[in-house]
Amino acid sequence: MTLGKGPSRVLSDLAVTALLGTDRVTRVGAGPATLLAQAAVAGVRARAGRQCRVAVQAVEACPVEARAEANASQGAILERLLDSPEAALIDEWCTLAQARGVRVPAFAVPTLLDWWARQPVRSAEVFAATGACGVWLAGLNQDWQRPVVTTDIPADAEAVWQTGKAAERGALLLSVRRAEPARALAMVRATWDADGADERRRFIEVLAHGVSTADEAFLEAALDDRSKTVRREAARVLTRLPGSTLRARMRERAASMIVVERTRSGVLRRSKVTVKIEPPKDFDKAWERDGVDEQPATGKGKRAFWMVQMLSAADLAVWTAASGLAPADLLESIAEDEYFGDAFGSMLASLAACPDQPDAAAWGDAILAASKDGKAAGRKFVNEPNWASMWREQPVDRSEAMRLAFVAGNQAAKGLVAWRVLTSDSRAWSLAFSTSAMQVFRDTMPKKTETWDFWSPVDTVSRLLHPGASEQFEQLIAAMYPDGPSESIRKSLERVRLRAEMHKEFGS
Amino acid sequence: MSDWNAAKVLALAPDPGSASAGQALASARKWTSLGASDRAIWGLCQGSGKDPYQARIDLREPAFKCSCPSRKFPCKHGLGLLLLFAKEPAACKPGPEPAWVSEWIDGRTEKAEKKAEKAKAVVEAPVDVAAQAKRAAAREERVRQGVAECRTWLDDLVRRGLAAVQSDATTECERVAARMVDAQAPGLASMLRRIPRAVASGAGWEVRTLELLGRLHLLLAAADRVNELPAALAGDVRVAIGYNQHKDEALATQGVQDLWTVVGQSFEEDDRLTVRRSWLWGKRTDRPALVVDFSVASQPLDPSLVPGMCFEGEVAFYPSGAPLRGLVKARGDGSQALAAPGGAGPHDVAANLHRFAKALAANPWLMRFPLLLPCTTLVRSADRWLLRQGEARLPLSPAFERGMQLWRLLAATGGREGTIIAEWDGEFAEPVGLFVEGDATRFLSLVARWAA
For A344-394, the DSSP string reads HHHHHHHHHH-TTSTTHHHHHHHHHHHHHSTTTTTSGGGG-THHHHHHHHS
- Give residue A374's pLDDT: 67
pLDDT digits (tens, 9 = 90+) for B67-85: 888 777 788 899 999 988 8
From residue A162, give the alpha-carbon distance in Å to each of A158, A165, A202, B212: 6, 9, 16, 56
| C-alpha closest to that of B371 among B319, B413, B414, B427 | B427
Q: Is the pLDDT of residue A225 over 60?
A: yes
Residues 162-191 of B with CB under 8 A from A: 162-164
Q: What percent of chain B has pLDDT over 70?
A: 92
Give the least confident one: A344-348, A449-453, B15-19, B317-321: A449-453
pLDDT digits (tens, 9 = 90+) for B237-294: 999 999 988 888 899 989 999 999 999 999 888 777 888 999 999 988 999 999 999 8
B447 has a chain A CB within 8 A of its CB = no
Tell me how close the Cα of B394 comes to any Cα of chain A, in angstroms. 6
User: How far apart (Å, rounded) are the C-alpha atoms in residues B22 and B31?
Assistant: 13
- Give residue A324's pLDDT: 87
CB B428 within 8 A of CB B395: yes
Interface test with A, best of B88, B206, B434 (most A CBs within 10 A): B206
Tell me how close the Cα of B276 comes to any Cα of chain A, in angstroms. 22
- Give residue A289's pLDDT: 93
Beta bridge partners of B41: B36, B57
CB A461 within 8 A of CB A473: yes
Q: What is the mean pLDDT of residues A207-234?
A: 94
Q: Name which of A39, A58, A84 is nearest B379 (Cβ-Cβ).
A: A58
| C-alpha closest to that of A97 among A495, A428, A505, A497 | A505
| C-alpha closest to that of B435 among B376, B392, B390, B388 | B376
pTM over 0.95: no
From residue B65, give the alpha-carbon distance in Å to each of A277, B53, B74, B81, B116: 76, 10, 8, 11, 22
Q: What is the mean pLDDT of residues B210-223?
A: 96
Handedness of CA A161, A167, A173, A178 (dihedral sign): negative
The DSSP bridge pattern shows strands B93-94 and B31-36 to be parallel
Tell me how close the Cα of A53 comes to any Cα of chain B, in angstroms. 7
CB B293 within 8 A of CB B282: no
| C-alpha closest to that of B428 among B406, B450, B452, B451 | B406
Longest distance between any two alpha carbons in chain A, whole Å: 137
Cβ contacts of A34 within 8 Å, gap of 6 or more: none
Q: What is the mean pLDDT of residues B430-445?
A: 83
Tell me how close the Cα of A85 comes to any Cα of chain B, in angstroms. 12
Cβ contacts of B448 within 8 Å, gap of 6 or more: B266, B267, B400, B403, B404, B405
Residue B192's Cβ-side half-sphere holds a number of Cα atoms within 13 Å equal to 29
Tell me how close the Cα of A107 comes to any Cα of chain B, in angstroms. 5
A73 pLDDT band (50/70/90 cuts)?
A: confident
- Give residue A163's pLDDT: 87
pLDDT digits (tens, 9 = 90+) for A87-124: 889 999 999 999 999 999 998 999 999 999 888 777 88
For A221-233, the DSSP string reads HHTT-SSHHHHHH
Q: What is the mean pLDDT of residues B322-342?
A: 80
Cβ contacts of B438 within 8 Å, gap of 6 or more: none
B158 has a chain A CB within 8 A of its CB = yes
Helix (H) or strand (E) holding A7: helix A7-20
Q: What is the mean pLDDT of residues B416-428?
A: 93
Residues 372-391 of B with CB under 8 A from A: 377-381, 384, 386, 388
Residues 48-77 of A with CB under 8 A from B: 48-52, 54-62, 72-73, 75-77
Residues 95-114 of A with CB under 8 A from B: 106-107, 109-111, 113-114
- Give residue A1's pLDDT: 43
Q: What is the mean pLDDT of residues A374-402?
A: 80
User: How far apart (Å, rounded) are the C-alpha atoms in residues A450 and A327?
Assistant: 39
User: How far apart (Å, rounded) are the C-alpha atoms in residues B241 and B220?
Assistant: 9
Q: Looking at this protein, which amino acid is placed at residue A113?
A: L
Contact flag B356-A48 (C-beta cutoff 8 Å): yes
Contact flag A107-B444 (C-beta cutoff 8 Å): yes
| C-alpha closest to that of B41 among B25, B22, B20, B63 | B63
> B139: exposed, middle or buried (C-beta count within 10 Å: 0-12, 13-18, 19+)?
middle
CB B209 within 8 A of CB B162: yes
A39 has a chain B CB within 8 A of its CB = yes
Residue with more model confidence, A416 or A236:
A236
- Give residue A146's pLDDT: 62
Tell me how close the Cα of A287 comes to any Cα of chain B, in angstroms. 57
Q: What is the mean pLDDT of residues A480-506?
A: 88
pLDDT digits (tens, 9 = 90+) for A159-178: 889 888 888 888 889 889 98
Q: Name which of B16, B386, B410 is nearest A52 (Cβ-Cβ).
A: B386
- Give residue B451's pLDDT: 35
**Is the peptide bond between B74 and the residue preceding it cis, with omega within 30 degrees of 0?**
yes
